[in-house]
Amino acid sequence: MARYNAPFEIHVHGQVALRPDVTFELLQDALKPIWKYTGAKSLAAGSDSFYEDEPGIQFEAKEHLLQMCWTVEGDDDFRQALDEMCMNLNDVAQSGAAIEVTFYDTEFEDDEDAADDAESRDDFVMLFVGPDPASIMQVQRDLLVQDVVNLMERHFDGAELGGVVAAIDSLFSQRFDDLVNSLQLGKPPRGTGGGASGHGGRKPRHLH
């Protein structure tokens, strides 16, 4: 549904691996916050992008994948729909995934009489989903390593960056440990002898 005078064109882009048992109906419920935002009554009706050359929202049943290359007109209230969608996708995701969301300021682009010092409200948001905190942190870690290595390879050989990657892994390991410890606060010790058990989840790969 067209939103007249919508201040943003919002592009959602990402790929999420889904659990093998996820059906179209389950995915439709998970994505309801964003397709309902368009005024559609179903995922099928709301999956088309604002731009015809974009594939929109697609459920690849055989590959158990959600593919999104989808643009919608909207306002800042779309962020709430995104938050709800991510919470829902956590329940159906097989592994961690990143979703890129770009807000394009249509009012800035269309206003030819805007002052020279006017600033665009364009924004870029990276969202993360996954079945557990470890899988989400793994995706965050991998993206950060990729960005840092790409930047530093302009000045150093890739073989020289092992220490940098190890430092990033250490930071994420500490963050994961802090998260697990915070979840343990207020909980009675598990097991016998009054001793607390180990971490209540697996650590992301590479985080030693």
Q: Per residue in 166-198, pLDDT tens?
A: 988 888 888 877 877 776 665 554 443 433 333
Which region holds residue 194: left if phi is over 0, alpha if psi is between -120 and 50, else beta? Answer: left
- CA separation for the pair 81, 21 (Å, rounded): 25
Same domain assignment for residues 52 and 88: yes
Q: What span, in angstroms and rounded, lies between the C-alpha atoms of 161 and 164?
A: 5
Helices (H), 47-161: 78-90, 106-110, 133-152
DSSP, res 74: E
pLDDT tens column, 26-83: 999 999 999 999 999 999 999 999 999 999 999 999 999 999 999 999 999 999 999 9
Task: Let me know if residue 3 belongs to a domain.
Answer: no
180 and 80, same structural domain? no
Q: How far apart are the first and last CA of the chain?
A: 49
Residue 1 covered by a domain: no
Contact between residue 99 and residue 129 where contact means Cβ atoms under 8 Å apart: yes
Shared domain check, 185 and 114: no
Do 139 and 115 belong to one domain?
A: no
Could you say which of 97, 131, 165 is where a domain stops? 131
Q: What is the pLDDT of residues 99-110, one digit of tens each?
A: 999 999 987 655
Report the CATH number that the domain containing residue 84 is assigned in CATH.
Answer: 3.30.70
Q: How high is the pLDDT of residue 177? A: 79
Q: Please say which residue of 131, 151, 168 terminates a domain.
A: 131
Between CA 83 and CA 71 the distance in angstroms is: 17
Residue 63 lies inside a defined structural domain of this protein: yes
Decide: 207 and 133 in contact? Cβ < 8 Å: no
CA-wise closest residue to 149 among 138, 135, 163 = 163
With respect to residue 139, please indicate whether it lies within any of the assigned structural domains: yes
Are 102 and 122 contacting, i.e. CB atoms less than 8 angstroms apart? yes
Indicate yes or no: pTM above 0.85: no
Distance CA 152, CA 57 (A): 35
Whether residues 126 and 185 share a domain: the answer is: no
> How many domains does the chain contain in total?
2
Structural domain harbouring 90: 8-131
